[in-house]
């Protein structure tokens, strides 16, 4: 078992677990998370979302971003200047569409989340640009889901 710096089990789900988790998603979420798609700008539910809490992977529930790191980039996609923990997000070189970008994926289930750019605000200078359907949201103080049955700290509030 591989644990993250925050104590989360980063062991990848089995192919059957991925299939079971994906079955609860709508076709658009499956296209983006599993087939590396992109949702159109200014249409995602989290672009203008202001509540405090934790953004998690919409497939495997791994915590990805804290709402305090969210900012309005004007890009049309939810943007964050840092992840909740460096080992919860993987960076992959993306040379598709005639560009060179850095794709970001969930470190546990390898789902496509979006891209990271070096035009963000201080303190990091980074802009993690996310597809809304790649994430779900857990309000501050609420327990995190534990669909994989991994146990604590999953099923508990962040910091709890």
The DSSP secondary structure of 16-38, one letter per residue, reads: HHHHHHHTTS-HHHHHHHHH---
Q: What is the mean pLDDT of residues 108-114?
A: 96
Alpha carbons 39 and 150: distance in angstroms, whole number: 30
Q: What is the mean pLDDT of residues 74-91?
A: 95
How would residue 42 be classed by pLDDT, with cut points 50, 70 and 90? very high
Is 129 catalytic? The answer is yes
**pTM of the model as a whole:** 0.93
Catalytic position from the list 57, 60, 109, 129: 129
DSSP-based three-state secondary structure for 88: helix
How would residue 125 be classed by pLDDT, with cut points 50, 70 and 90? very high
């Amino acid at each position: 078992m591989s644990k993250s710096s925050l104590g989360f089990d980063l062991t990848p789900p089995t192919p059957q677990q991925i299939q079971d988790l994906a079955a609860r998603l709508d076709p658009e979420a499956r296209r983006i998370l599993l087939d590396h798609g992109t949702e159109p700008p200014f249409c995602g539910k989290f672009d203008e979302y202001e509540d405090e809490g934790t953004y998690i992977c919409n497939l495997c529930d791994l915590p990805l971003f804290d709402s305090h790191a969210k900012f309005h980039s004007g890009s049309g996609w939810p943007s964050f200047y840092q992840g909740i923990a460096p080992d919860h997000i993987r960076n992959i070189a993306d040379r598709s569409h005639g560009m060179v970008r850095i794709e970001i994926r969930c470190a546990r289930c390898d789902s496509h989340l979006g891209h990271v750019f070096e035009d963000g605000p201080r303190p990091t200078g980074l802009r993690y640009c996310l597809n809304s359907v790649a994430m779900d949201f857990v309000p501050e103080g609420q327990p995190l889901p534990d669909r994989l049955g991994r146990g604590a700290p999953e099923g508990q509030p962040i910091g709890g």
